[in-house]
Amino acid sequence: MGDYRKMWQDLGLDMESHDQLLEVLPPTYHDVYLTQENRPQVMEYFDFVVNEIHGLRIEELQQHKSAGGKVIGTFCVFVPEEIIRAAGGICIGLCSGIEIGAGEAEKVLPRNICPLIKSFMGFKLAKVCPYFESSDMVVGETTCDGKKKAFEILNDYVPVHVMETPHMKKDQDRKLWEEEVKDFARHIEGFTGNSISAVSLAQSVRESNDKRRALKRLSELRKRDPVVISGKDCLLIEQIAMYDDVARFTSKVNELCDELEKRLESGVGIFPAGTPRVIVTGTPMAIPNWKVPHIIESSGAVMVAEEMCTGMRYFENEVSEQGTDIDSIINNVAERYLGTNCAVFTPNTGRMERLTELVKEYRADGVIHCALSFCNPYAVEANRVEQVLRQQGIPLLKIETGYDQEDAGQLKTRVEAFVEMIKE
């Protein structure tokens, strides 16, 4: 990483805390990712992105801001990035995947709250995340009670616009969501000072769809046996998708897929043929929340799909490109995002149906449901997941964990036992 200290100081970061964070991340990344054997060569780009996670990309954001552009931070796949980009803004995912700044966060939040919520509040209040400090505005959503109340507090420190996410998918809910998306577009226009045209929105839709298609192409390659890329690497790519430059990222994913297709032709895999295959589902995993994936893939199994928001929900549905006027394109955007199978919905039959489809498509031997501690939507919905998978005869392991490493040994024992069971 280059010398970005002056940039970080200008952003107002707590340099001591930030230095401590940067001391922890490289060894963790090395142990989880760089010890893998026979990784695809193009993964060097994504390693570089992580190495420069608080450097080069932040510098790009500052250049964008210096030219008069706006940076909009988000936490959720419900926020339509097409609208932000159509108004000349940059949409980035925010830091929320590690236990940090807990003391500061607990001054305004209860101790027993979801680790993701405590993490993003800790990053902001402790001034450790340069993405937060680069954001001119944050866009929240009402996908859980904890987040929507935390956004009220976060608004004391950075402007927050909250989108009301419907909790059902009836006709009136669709109308509500369409109005929310239109209101969001108006708000973004006012905030950036740029009008959204049918031309700019259509272009943004095409570019976002291209990114989704590249990720879907990568996902399709994971159906093959032997597996040509680790699930950890794919999760990393899906995490990076939320803050990297769209065109550059899309190009690199397609370049990676070219390499993987050649590997498939040669029969080269990163795991031996017949390695137990699992699908991971549940609460999204933000960088650097790699604990459970690392345990899975160091316990004799391989992740072949992630039915999560940091996973397939981010890219599997595209926005229709049929619209020609601004209203029809915005409606297409709204329709696409409402297709997300988030646990906020009741009932959420779409998620159950998709999970069983994925098990067949990816020839998975079992499913691991991972919910963050105090993440009520996913922890409660695990009951429905268990019922449906049991009816289909699909093995399931339910895990509830946090960001700390205290339960890593116990989790590894449980995962190893699950892997042995599905081998049989």
pLDDT of residue 59: 97
CA neighbours closer than 13 Å in the CB half-sphere of residue 276: 23
Q: Which pairing describes strands 90-93 and 137-141: parallel, antiparallel, or unpaired? A: unpaired
User: Kind and range of the H or E element at 29?
Assistant: helix 15-29
Paired residues of 56 in beta bridges:
none
Paired residues of 161 in beta bridges:
139
Q: How large is the greatest C-alpha to C-alpha distance in the chain, in angstroms? A: 61
**Domains delineated in the chain:** 5-177 (3.40.50.11890), 202-318+342-423 (3.40.50.11900)
What angle (nearest 5°) sits at the alpha carbon of residue 118, between those of residues 116 and 120?
Answer: 70
C-alpha 182/C-alpha 331 separation (Å) is 8
pLDDT of residue 242: 96
C-alpha 103/C-alpha 122 separation (Å) is 8
- pLDDT tens for 236-295 read 999 999 999 999 999 999 999 999 999 999 988 999 999 999 999 999 999 999 999 999
Terminal Cα distance for the chain, rounded? 46
Please name the residue ranges forming H helices in 243-290.
246-266
pLDDT of residue 169: 95
Residues 6+ apart with CB under 8 A from 384: 347, 348, 352
3-class DSSP state for residue 367?
strand
pLDDT in tens, the chain (424 residues): 778 999 999 999 999 999 999 998 999 999 999 999 999 999 999 999 999 999 999 999 999 999 999 999 999 999 999 999 999 999 999 999 999 999 999 999 999 999 999 999 999 999 999 999 999 999 999 999 999 999 999 999 999 999 999 999 999 999 999 999 999 999 999 999 999 999 999 999 999 999 999 999 999 999 999 999 999 999 999 999 999 999 999 999 999 999 999 999 998 899 999 999 999 999 999 999 999 999 999 999 999 999 999 999 999 999 999 988 999 999 999 999 999 999 999 999 999 999 999 999 999 999 999 999 999 999 999 999 999 999 999 999 999 999 999 999 999 999 999 999 999 8
Neighbours of 184 (CB within 10 A): 21
